Amino acid sequence: MMLPRSIPILSALLLLTAPAAAQISLTPPATTPSPAPEKPKAAKPPAPAKKKEAAPAPKPSPSPSAPPTATVIPAPPTDSSGVDLVYGAYQRGQYKTAFDLATARAQGGDPKAMTMLGQLYSGALGIKRDYAKAAEWYKRASDAGDRQAMLELAMLRIAGRGGPIDKGEAVKLLASASKLGEPKAAYNLALLYLDGQTLPQDVKRSAELLRQAADAGLPEAQYALATFYKEGTGVEKDIDKAVRLLQAATLADNVDAEVEYAIALFNGTGTPRNPPAAVALLRKAARQNSPIAQNRLARILITGMGAPVDKVEGFKWHLVAKTAGKGDPDLDAQLTELNPDDRAKAEAAAKKWLGTK
């Protein structure tokens, strides 16, 4: 039995809204590392006076025509172990403390603290949600060169939060953040080039941006680029590259990739055939509420091709997938032929999973 492919390319990709807490302002996310904020260089101390000199030379008075001295942003306050106190409070859920500490730092000109304030205002974390203030802090941080603030402000502009919808500004912000190495900005910009509404459709440019984000380890981009290689969209068709990208995204727990990689393993497409590994991945994705995984797993368990027959479990997943719009007429027909006891067990198991028992 060959399992069919699962997800059409466009429905898999058009996801323009960033998760509310997907980006943490003061340290990089675990799966998409960003460079840590640069610590300002401390001013060099004056050279020690040579022993032969009676006294150190007096400091020269600044010339009236000399350029103004650059403002030095103080280093983030840390505890004795060197942990950033603002980020530490954020990670512990102490949002009010994070807000107070970030406010003091933002007033001192720290762009990462400004981005944190934007995150707190946007996510209603420790303070009342205020998209206008979030946009204000993101704007100040992005003007100071913070790539994450650029991404966050772009998402607000696309959604029309904290101000009117401004896709033109959003595109500029995403482009700037992408150039600075922000993978989520490259990913979202790729989607805009693919969609062809905000920007002229350019699948090759979309593929380039997806590759940038995928190389940085963003699982959504790895999955999306895999579909490009499978279909030959913006790149030459290459099943082997597609499967390698699916495997990478699967290791990062991307559910869509888990389903596609499981199907590749089951069918032996671009990788050695491995039905047990495929079934294990389908089980994992089914438990993560992927209707496609639930449907494919149901087929396997009901037919026994790739795993021992378990019709009660198989029809349970069929009924669960059906409630999410993934009906299967063939399995419906087989369900009517199931003995009453097993059918009752499958229906009870499905209800229990759905929480409707």
Q: Cα torsion at 30, 34, 35, 37 (round to 10°)?
A: -90
Measured distance CA(75)–CA(84) in Å, rounded:
10
> 354 vs 225, 265, 320, 332, 334, CA distance in Å?
33, 29, 7, 19, 22
- pLDDT for 143 equals 98
Banded model confidence at residue 85, pLDDT cuts 50, 70, 90: confident
Count CA within 13 A, CB hemisphere, residue 100.
Answer: 4
Alpha-carbon torsion 167, 233, 147, 41, what sign?
Answer: negative
> 301 vs 5, 104, 289, 305, CA distance in Å?
18, 59, 17, 7
Radius of gyration of the chain (CA): 27
- Given a cut of 70, whether residue 331 has pLDDT beyond it is yes
- pLDDT for 6 equals 55
- pLDDT for 356 equals 86
- Given a cut of 90, whether residue 141 has pLDDT beyond it is yes
Boundary residue ending a domain (165, 180, 195): 180
The answer as to whether 64 is a domain residue is no
- Given a cut of 70, whether residue 31 has pLDDT beyond it is no
How many contiguous H segments (helices) and E segments (strands) does the chain have?
17, 0
The structural domain count of the chain equals 2
The answer as to whether 4 is a domain residue is no
Contact partners, residue 160, CB within 8 Å, separation at least 6: none
Count CA within 13 A, CB hemisphere, residue 34.
Answer: 24
- pLDDT for 15 equals 39
Other Cβ atoms closer than 10 A to 38:
9
The answer as to whether 71 is a domain residue is no
The answer as to whether 284 is a domain residue is yes
Boundary residue ending a domain (117, 150, 180): 180
Q: For the chain, how many residues are written? A: 357
Boundary residue ending a domain (180, 201, 228): 180
- Given a cut of 90, whether residue 41 has pLDDT beyond it is no
> 76 vs 91, 144, 338, CA distance in Å?
16, 16, 66
The answer as to whether 140 is a domain residue is yes
Contact 116, 102 (CB under 8 A): yes
Tokens 């700037």, located at residue: 176
What b/e sequence results for 232-241 when a residue is b if at least 16 CB atoms lie within 10 Å of its CB, and e otherwise? ebbbeebeeb
- Given a cut of 70, whether residue 97 has pLDDT beyond it is yes
Measured distance CA(9)–CA(233) in Å, rounded:
9
Banded model confidence at residue 318, pLDDT cuts 50, 70, 90: very high
The answer as to whether 326 is a domain residue is yes
Task: Give the domain CATH number at 159.
Answer: 1.25.40.10
- pLDDT for 87 equals 85
Measured distance CA(258)–CA(262) in Å, rounded:
6
Q: Read off the pLDDT of each residue in 215-236 and give the average, rounded to a whole number.
A: 98
The pTM of this model reads 0.77
Alpha-carbon torsion 334, 337, 340, 342, what sign?
Answer: negative
Weakest mean pLDDT among 67-71, 135-139, 232-236, 292-296 = 67-71
More confident residue, 156 or 83: 156
pLDDT tens profile 159-171: 999 999 999 999 9
DSSP 189: H
The type of residue at 219 is P
- Domain holding 351, by residue range, is 274-357
Strand partners, 84: 78
- Token digits for 198? 């905000």
- Given a cut of 90, whether residue 81 has pLDDT beyond it is no
- Given a cut of 50, whether residue 269 has pLDDT beyond it is yes
Q: Percent of the chain at pLDDT above 90?
A: 75
Measured distance CA(244)–CA(223) in Å, rounded:
10
- Given a cut of 80, whether residue 118 has pLDDT beyond it is yes
Contact partners, residue 62, CB within 8 Å, separation at least 6: none
- Given a cut of 90, whether residue 260 has pLDDT beyond it is yes
- Given a cut of 90, whether residue 315 has pLDDT beyond it is yes
The answer as to whether 282 is a domain residue is yes
Weakest mean pLDDT among 71-75, 179-183, 235-239 = 71-75
The type of residue at 335 is L
Any alpha helices (H) in 45-146, and if so which ranges? 85-91, 95-107, 111-123, 131-143
Collapse the DSSP code of 6 into the 3-class scheme (helix H, G, I; strand E, B; otherwise coil) and give the result. Answer: coil
Give 249-285 as a DSSP string.
Answer: HHHTT-HHHHHHHHHHHHHTSSS---HHHHHHHHHHH
